[in-house]
Structure 1
Amino acid sequence: MCAGGIVQAMFPGDISAVNTSLSQDTSVAQGVFIEMFMTAELVFVVLMLAAEKSKSTFLAPIGIGLALFVAMMGGVYFTGGSLNPARSFGPAVASASFVGYHWIYWVGPLLGALLASAYYRFVKHFNYEQANPGQDSSGGHFSA
C-alpha cells in the first residue's frame, strides 16, 4: 500500500492503470484457476529449490526467477499476473478503485499455495530423494 501511494505521488497519471484485471475473454472462474496454478507452480519451485537443502541450493534464485518469469508470461495477459495479493491490493488501495472480482487475487494465490504445499508433502511422503540416490555425494564413483 505504501509503495502504491508513493508511486501515485511521484509519477503523473492515474495509478489505476497498473491495477490487475481480467482480460475481456477471461471469466472470473478462469481467473481464479489461472492465478491458482501460476501461484502453485511458483510456490512448489520455491519449496523444492530453497526449502530443500542440496549442493545446488545456491542456484535457487535463478530457478525461482525463471519460474516467476514463466508464470508471468503465461498469465499476465489473462489475469494481470498477480500471484501475490499484495501486488493487487497496493495499487487498488492507492487508486481507491477495486474491481468487483478483486477477491480472485486473494483466493487464487491461497488455493495455489495450498495445492503446492499438498503436492510437496505428497512427494516428501514418497521419498522423492530416492529417485536419484547419491546426487549430493562428493565422490565420482557410482555404487550399485
Structure 2
Amino acid sequence: MTFRRTPIPVVPSSSTEYLLISRTGTMFYTLPPRLTIRCPLPKRTLPLSIRSVDLQQTSLPRWSLLAKLLFISLCFGISLAVNAWVFYRIGGGLLNPAVTLAMVIVGAVSVLRGILVIISQILGAMVAAAVVEGLTPGRLNVGTGLGGVTTTSQGLFIEMFLTAQLVFTILMLGRALLAAGFYLFVKALQYETVNPGQDDAGDAPVHEHGARDIEAWYGTISRCYSSNG
C-alpha cells in the first residue's frame, strides 16, 4: 500500500492567492474528502505543503474544472429532486418563485397562497444564506454572473428560455419530480439562474445587487407566461 500527497488548490474569497492543501490517498481510496480553508496568506513559503501562490501564475487543468462542474451539477440536481419529494405533501414541492407563479397562472395554486409561498421562498433563501454565511469562516465567494463575452441581452434570453423549459417540464410531468431534478442537473452545467429566489434573494446577505438581479428576475418571471401559453 502506497501513500502519496497531491496539492489541492482552494480559492479564497476576495484574495489574489491560493491555498494549497495536501491530501493523502491510497490505491483503494483515490478521492478522499477535502478540507476547504479560505483566508489570505502572506507571500512566503510555509512549512509542510501549505504555501501561497500568486493567482496570475497558477492555472488549473481543464479536466479539474470540468470535474468540479460535473460534481456541482450532480449535487444540485439530486438535492433539489430529493427536497422537492420530501416537501411535496407539505407545500407541493414548490421551491421556485417562477414555478409558483406558473402554478398561479394555470390555477393550480390560488393567488393568495401563491403570494405567501413566494414570500416564504425568498425569505427562506435569505435566512439560509445568512446561516451559511455565519457558520462559514471567511467571506462566501458565491453567486451567479455572466461570462466575459456574454452580453446582458444574451443572458436575459438564456434565462427566459431555460426557465420556460423548466416550467414546461414541471407542468407536463406533474408529480415526476425526478425529471425536474434531471433538468436542473443539465441546467447547472450551463449555470444559469432559473430560480431567482435561490440565486438572487439567497445572495442578498452576501453580495451587493445590481443589473444582474434585474436580468435574472425579469428573464425567469416573464418566461412563465409564454410557457403557460
TM-score band (shorter)? Answer: 0.5 to 0.7
Counterparts of 2:180 and 2:207, CA distance in 1: 32
| Structure 2 unaligned regions, length at least 5 | 1-125
Q: How big is each residue's C-alpha offset from its partner over 1:58-91, in whole Å with a ceiling of 9 and x where there is no partner?
A: xx12211112222222x21xxxx21111122234
Higher relative contact order (CA 8 A, sep 6+): 1
- Which protein is richer in strand relative to its size? 2
Which residues in structure 2 correspond to 1:55-74 (within 5 Å)? Answer: 57=175, 60-73=176-189
SS in 2 for 1:103: helix
CA deviation profile, 1:28-83 (whole Å, cap 9, x unmatched): 00111111111111100000000xxxxxx5xx12211112222222x21xxxx211
Give the alignment's TM-score, normalised by structure 1.
Answer: 0.66
Alignment length, in residue pairs?
104
TM-score by structure 2 length? 0.43
Question: 1:40, 1:111 → 2: CA distance?
Answer: 9
For residues 42 and 10 of structure 1, do their structure 2 counterparts lie closer, same or farther at Cα, with a shift above 3 Å needed?
Answer: same
Aligned residues of 1:41 and 1:71 also touching (Cα < 8 A): no
CA–CA distance in structure 1, aligned partners of residues 183 and 169 of structure 2: 7
Secondary structure of 1:93 counterpart: coil
Runs of 4+ in 1 over 3 A off after TM superposition: none
In the alignment, structure 1 segments of 5+ residues that lack a partner are 51-56, 119-144
Q: Which has the higher helix share?
A: 1
CA distance 1:64–1:96, shift in 2 (3 Å): closer
Q: What's the Cα RMSD here?
A: 1.5
Structure 1 partner of 2:209: 98
How many Å apart are 1:96 and its aligned residue? 4.0
Q: Deviations over 1:91-124 (max 9, x none)?
A: 4311241133320110011122122111xxxxxx
Structure of greater Rg? 2
